[in-house]
Amino acid sequence: MTRTFSMTRRSLLALGTALSLAALPAIAPAQESPFEMTFAYGWISNIEQGGLFAGLDQGYFSEEGLAVDFIPGGPNAPQTLVSLSAGTADIVTANWLPVLDAIASGNDFVVLGALWNKSPAAFISMGDLPLDKAEALVGKTYLAQKPEDSEIIDAILDINGLPHEYEVKPTGFSPEPLVAGDGDIYFAFATNQPITLENMGMTEGTDFHTTLFDDLGYDVKQGLIVARRDYVEENRDKVVGFLRGFMKGWDYAVENPEAVADLVVNEYGADLGLEKAQQVRQMELQTDLIPPAEGEPYFVFDPALIDGIMTDVAGGRTVPPVDQLLDLSLAKEAAAGL
């Protein structure tokens, strides 16, 4: 006996639809859009930000689900804390006294760590004036870029029990006026102006001396990583991801200075006329200052410094309680996930 099958119009349409759907490729689940974040730093795009650029190039921030943009600094750029307060930046680096001033102005900022393990802030003096003793600072003419730099001189003299006897002259970002004899001591970055003098044929320790503020007792953390408190509370996991990507970027930059110098010269600082050899040399100098002590995480420092020397040099400014001002837990969490 032969069995026959009949199909209604409805069943025929259903079969056609099923066959059509079967022919379609599988649709992948929608990907979550990366979380956008803007980081601002206080100087031009050079290898001082090598960890950031390595993190971008190597995809470390992308791995954390982040799309990180950045706002460079420089002589004509807005101060990073202004950008943070205005909401045009989400995380910034800034120095100690400006952070205190910004908080005193009503900003609810929190410090998440410090970029520099040891501050690159330094004095440069010529060969006949080593600053191996703080007494050598008294009675000298200082070449400084900012009027408020006199506060640092006062603090260092106070730390060492010395009188406020000195003169300050305004200067630019090149140490040439020091070489010309316009002053005795030049405010510098230990990772920058010494290279200029080296390129002039001078030798560190013979023709000139670089003395870190830290070595004169001014152990004040610089390059503080700062964010708005509400931003951190609302986006804690994203901020931890940023710090983790940044840490990975610095590890890469320290291990691959030539590659990161190429990144800076040819991409991130391509319009600045930077020289690769200078950038590599700068990376060499900052490698002694940015990476933490062995076994310690990036960006974390001893909170006792705030109640100690950092309060001592605040010049009468109000320093918030450490547990309100400083939150190192995000950096520690980021390091634990490496």
CATH (domain of 185):
3.40.190.10
Domain end marker among 166, 182, 216: 216
Q: Are strands 109-114 and 224-228 parallel, antiparallel or unpaired?
A: antiparallel
**Residue 77: strand, helix, or coil:** coil
Do residue 228 and residue 271 come from a single domain?
yes
How many Cβ atoms from other residues are within 10 Å of residue 8's Cβ? 8
pLDDT score, position 277: 96
Q: Domain check: are 100 and 245 in the same one?
A: yes
44 and 128 assigned to the same domain: no
Shared domain for 316 and 237, answered yes or no, is yes
Alpha carbon distance 335, 220 (integer Å): 23
Asked whether residue 186 falls in the same domain as residue 230, the answer is no
Residue given tokens 């307060």 in the structure block: 85
pLDDT for res 2: 41
The pLDDT score that the predictor gives to residue 147 is 86
Which string of b and e fits 163-192 if b means at least 16 CB within 10 Å? eeebebeebeeebeebbeeebbbbbbbbbb
Residue 29 lies in a domain: no
C-alpha span between 322 and 9 (Å, rounded): 77
Weakly modelled stretches of the chain, pLDDT under 70: 1-31
My answer on whether 234 and 326 are in the same domain is yes
Question: Coil, helix or strand for 319?
Answer: coil
Paired sense of beta strands 35-40 and 66-71, if any: parallel
pLDDT at 323: 96
Last residue of a domain, one of 216, 239, 258: 216
pLDDT in tens, 205-246: 999 999 999 999 999 999 999 999 999 999 999 999 999 999
Domain count of the fold of the chain? 2
Q: How many angstroms separate the Cα of 251 from the Cα of each of 79, 185, 221, 286? A: 28, 34, 20, 13
Which helix (H) or strand (E) covers residue 44, if one does?
none
**Shared domain check, 261 and 323:** yes
Domain membership of residue 30 (yes or no) is no
Phi (first) and psi of residue 228, to 5 degrees:
-75, 140
- Pair (97, 126) in one structural domain: no
Neighbours of 150 (CB within 10 A): 15
Q: Note down the domain range covering 143.
A: 121-216
- Are residues 204 and 240 both part of a single domain? no
pTM: 0.86
